Structure 1
């Protein structure tokens, strides 16, 4: 394989492995399944997904007029 083709292949793989809409850094996906009307803002205007995740918050920009950077649900443990 010529070097240029290898470079494009590596670039494509890198882009596929980086942030997607369903990826949550340090949180389980279930923690970020917060109904839109129950979201508590965790960011600031123009916060990016990376900045939001670095704050330990969830990011979902698929719903308009609700916080996109919001506090995750707390996982609870059952104790008897």
Structure 2
């Protein structure tokens, strides 16, 4: 799947989880729409959303057994 398709799928999934999506500060929804299988850990066990956000990372605890604090997409990666 090409990057634009991946970004679209990720955004659609994020909309589906909109009521349970974690927090992110100074990042767009597109940047934090990283599929769970592609999340790169940006935190440590039991990190809070605030601590994660202060590192410039996304936080989403709605999916168990994947990183909850993870690196965002670069903004230019998801532009259409």
For the criterion TM > 0.5, the same-fold answer is yes
- List per-residue Cα deviations over 1:20-52 (Å, max 9, x = no partner): 845420100110000000000000011000000
Number of positions where the alignment pairs a residue of Structure 1 with one of Structure 2: 58
TM-score normalised by the chain length of structure 1: 0.67
SS in structure 1 at match of 2:52? helix
Structure 1 residue runs of 4+, over 6 Å off? none
The RMSD of aligned alpha carbons is 1.7
Larger Rg: 1
| Larger RCO (CA within 8 A; separation ≥ 6) | 2
The separation in 1 between residues aligned to 2:22 and 2:71, in whole angstroms, is 16
Q: Which residue of structure 2 aligns with residue 62 of structure 1? A: 62
Q: Which runs of 5+ in 2 are unaligned?
A: 1-19
Q: Which residue of structure 1 aligns with residue 37 of structure 2? A: 37
